[in-house]
Chain A
Amino acid sequence: MTKGVETWERFWFREEETCTLALFRIAFAVIVFAWTISLAPGLYSFYADDGILPAYPDGGPGAWGLLQIDSSPASVTVLYLLLLVGAFCLAFGFRTRLAAVLVFVCLISFARRNPWVLNSGDLLIFVLGFYLMLAPSGAALSVDRWLRTRSRFWDFPVRSLWPLRLIQVQVSLLYFFAVWEKLRGETWNDGTAVSYAFRLEDLERFPVPGFVTDSLLLVNLLTYGTLAIELALAILVWNGKLRPWVLLLGVMLHLGIAYAVRVGFFSYAAVVGYIAFLPPATVSAWLYRLRDRTARSRLSWLVPGIESVEPGGRP
């Protein structure tokens, strides 16, 4: 019993440096910012009360959103601007917790106002936004940190791991249920699903050559390969030795999807989710290398707190 409790505590409450969390926060905020910009062309058509869905939909028990109060073009504009500001503050880590809450509230408000324009990528962004709200994501690489302790800006304070763990578990569950759902289908079992997905003209982004989509052998390989990679992302990603390779395969899978299919931000959101799996030692090594290279370049003015550190080292 005691051992079980200790294992649980080690898994969820172990303290680690917050560089991984900071990198996740910045990447997530960039995606949210781009997502928000991409909303502009259809903003009022999608969300205002004179758009494609004039009546506020019933989202079921527990569902809520700010546009339920009022979805006039003025309210939609205010919410949109708040989301832009929130994403900007989140990226730079200014009033980080408040920014994370603001981003989540705005995202879910847009989601609830019109669920008929969302794809899985949007949904993943909302889910990641919920978990980020729970995390001390401004502890490192943030304006908040700069204001708190300039001399230790490049230090990554340790924090309990559980919010990042929740993101890892969510990503793992996402792929597990994606595979489960696919295995209920006919074309994923007979190995032809990818051929259909790549030939949907209304969703086509860049064309996939006919010799690929018409070759049974190639589409079998791509279809079963997709299932294998997704299953690996659900299970094998928990193995430390296999993790880098599994994540690399996941990135390749999503780059392929982003090339061929109009899935919006799905691929990028998924890859942002992978950041949660990166070990702090790796991330801090990357960040210090990037810092030192930038400090030696003409862009050195971009590096905050560099005067208090030795190149390659911690403060």
Chain B
Amino acid sequence: MKAFGPRMHKEGGVQQKLESSRAGRAAISVFIVVTIVSVVVWNLPPSAIKEEALAFTEPYVRATGLNQNWGVFAPDPRRHTLQLLAQVRYADGSEEVVSIPRGGRLVGGYWDYRWRKWAEWTSTDDHSELWQPAAEWFARRARAEGRTPVSVTLVRRWRDLLPPGLGASTGEWQEYAYYTYEMPSAAEAEPR
């Protein structure tokens, strides 16, 4: 093999043997091309060519974890502040509004961002499959505190961010209860 770069201390190994043979480098080259093409295809905007190519590349990018998009705050950042709340009604007739965990500014941001991400997905109409598990989780949390929840209502709370330069920065808080989960009674919950 023609060596490029500094000739310094060198040791053997399976990977090096592969890299030093023409056939090995050809195989690695195929791997490189497939990988880069697959990543590029995955990141293309919706198009006919993407649809066609995904039929071949999708299993590979999903198996390797390369199926990632990089649109941070893209195509636009959200234009409203968002909160996910749960109104929990208990067997004794009382009600409580609970929210997702939130950490402090310095360290909390390194663990609570996952809750925020989940709240973002769970608050959208596009992912209604997340609603019941979310309500059940809030109910389990209440039960863990020794209380008996009878229903959980998920509430989307938001306020718009106004365009910069207009003086006022935000609109008024708004709320929308979008899903209610009634706990099955003990008899219904009994396994068959």
Contacts and interface: CB of A to CB of B under 8 A. Distances in A.
Interface of A: 6, 8-10, 12-17, 34, 38-42, 45-46, 50-55, 59-64, 104, 107-108, 111, 116-120, 123-124, 126-127, 129-130, 136, 139, 148, 152, 155-162, 166, 169-170, 173-175, 177-178, 180-188, 192-193, 195-197, 199-203, 205-206, 210, 213-216, 219, 262-266
A111 B4 contact: no
B62 A61 contact: yes
Contact of A192 (B3, B45, B66, B163): B163
Main secondary structure of the interface of A (DSSP, over half): helix
Interface residues of B, number: 80
Nearest to B64: A130
A199 B169 contact: yes
B110 A34 contact: yes
Contacts of A215: 164-165
Contacts of A8: 29
A264 B110 contact: yes
A264 B113 contact: yes
Nearest to A214: B164
A-B CB proximity, top 4 nearest: A185-B75, A62-B59, A14-B4, A62-B62
B130 to A, nearest CB: 7
A110 to B, nearest CB: 11
B78 interface: yes
A219 B15 contact: no
A187 B137 CA distance: 36
20 contacts: A8-B29, A40-B111, A52-B133, A52-B134, A116-B127, A126-B68, A130-B64, A136-B16, A160-B19, A181-B71, A187-B77, A192-B164, A193-B77, A195-B161, A200-B77, A202-B116, A214-B165, A215-B165, A262-B116, A265-B110
